[in-house]
């Protein structure tokens, strides 16, 4: 199946596409739960470096996602994918898209394309990186030597509301475009009926988990052993009425 770009992206991403073409933003935070189409959207723009924190996770995730994007856009005869090194090459122009792990961010300082410069960087599963400082260091290493650059961060918002990715959504900063999405805006035929059935089953059984996993909401403080516990004084009258006590220790 081959489609035009307008037919391949989720309708909720049309404002993001217009923002990219408008040139007013350099960084795009694409946050969403399962099936929100955020990674599918980012893989349509093919011009640079794609990163995941752990290299061994690349091939079955974002590398496959870009192969899908090239096929959907009818670029099968125009591009070539290789595994070693893991990259995509546009045959008519020689431009390349590199897929790299970021276990050692310092190693990216020596990254150099065969000609020109890297104009795009895509952080897949951005929440798994080491924070804003590490992200900034990687951008400074990769996006050098050109006037027009774009940076995409795609991620499922973590459970912990204090996580750096969730804090970035609260205050994106100048030049950043924030977009939230969920499976509810995606065409049912793209995800399949079983996906929606699983989502509704979790919604009925555990609405809080559904809100986090499928809507992409930060619903808790992820490090808590007892996420629903309340800290408050217990009156003496209540303590006397308790028949059973349980004690726990956590390191």
pLDDT tens, position by position, for the chain (251 residues)?
A: 445 555 556 667 777 778 777 777 778 888 887 777 666 655 444 469 999 999 999 999 999 999 988 888 888 889 999 999 999 998 988 889 999 999 998 888 888 888 888 888 999 999 999 999 999 999 988 887 777 788 999 999 998 888 999 999 888 778 898 988 899 988 898 899 999 999 999 999 999 899 999 999 988 765 566 666 677 888 999 988 988 888 887 77
Cβ-based neighbours of 94, under 8 Å, separated by 6 or more: 114, 115
pLDDT at 41: 56
Task: Report the b/e string of 149-158 with b at 16+ CB within 10 A.
Answer: bbbbbbbbbb
pLDDT at 52: 95
**Chain-centre distance of CA 121, in angstroms?**
13
pLDDT at 2: 42
Strands 120-124 and 86-90: unpaired
Nearest to residue 97, comparing CAs of 138, 67, 127? 67
Q: Is 27 in contact with 153 (CB distance < 8 Å)? A: yes
Residue 223 pairs in a beta bridge with none
User: Which two tokens mark 81?
Assistant: 């994918």
pLDDT at 31: 83
Cβ neighbours, 10 Å, residue 244: 4
pLDDT at 1: 42
Q: Is 120 in contact with 47 (CB distance < 8 Å)? A: yes
pLDDT at 43: 47
Hunting for tokens 């694409």 — which residue is that? 30
Q: What is d(CA 2, CA 71) in angstroms, rounded to the nearest whole number?
A: 7
| 130 phi, psi to nearest 5 deg | -85, 20
pLDDT at 67: 93
Nearest to residue 181, comparing CAs of 158, 210, 157, 209? 157
H-assigned helices in the chain:
5-8, 14-22, 38-42, 64-72, 132-142, 164-170, 188-191, 193-205, 207-213, 236-241
User: Which two tokens mark 90?
Assistant: 């546009």
User: Which two tokens mark 130?
Assistant: 């080491």
């Amino acid at each position: 199946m081959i489609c035009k770009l307008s037919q391949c992206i989720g309708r909720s991403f049309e404002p993001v596409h217009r923002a990219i073409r408008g040139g007013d933003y350099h960084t795009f935070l694409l946050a969403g739960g399962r099936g929100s189409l955020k990674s599918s959207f980012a893989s349509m723009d093919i011009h640079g470096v794609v990163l995941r924190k752990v290299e061994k996770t690349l091939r079955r995730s974002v590398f496959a996602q870009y192969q899908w994007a090239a096929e959907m856009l009818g670029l099968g005869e125009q591009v070539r994918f290789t595994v070693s090194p893991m990259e995509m090459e546009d045959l008519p122009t020689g431009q390349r898209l590199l897929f790299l792990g970021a276990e050692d961010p310092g190693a990216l300082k020596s990254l150099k394309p065969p000609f020109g410069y890297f104009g795009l960087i895509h952080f897949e599963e951005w929440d798994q990186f080491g924070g804003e400082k590490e992200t900034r260091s990687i951008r400074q290493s990769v996006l050098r030597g050109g006037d027009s650059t774009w940076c995409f961060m795609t991620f499922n918002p973590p459970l912990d509301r204090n996580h750096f990715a969730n804090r970035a959504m609260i205050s994106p900063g100048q030049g950043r475009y924030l977009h939230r999405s969920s499976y509810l805006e995606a065409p049912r035929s793209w995800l399949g009926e079983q996906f929606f059935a699983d989502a509704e089953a979790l919604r009925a059984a555990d609405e809080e988990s559904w809100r986090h996993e499928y809507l992409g909401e930060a619903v808790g403080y992820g490090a808590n052993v007892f996420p629903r516990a309340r800290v408050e004084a217990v009156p003496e009258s209540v303590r006397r009425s308790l028949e059973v006590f349980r004690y726990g220790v956590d390191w």
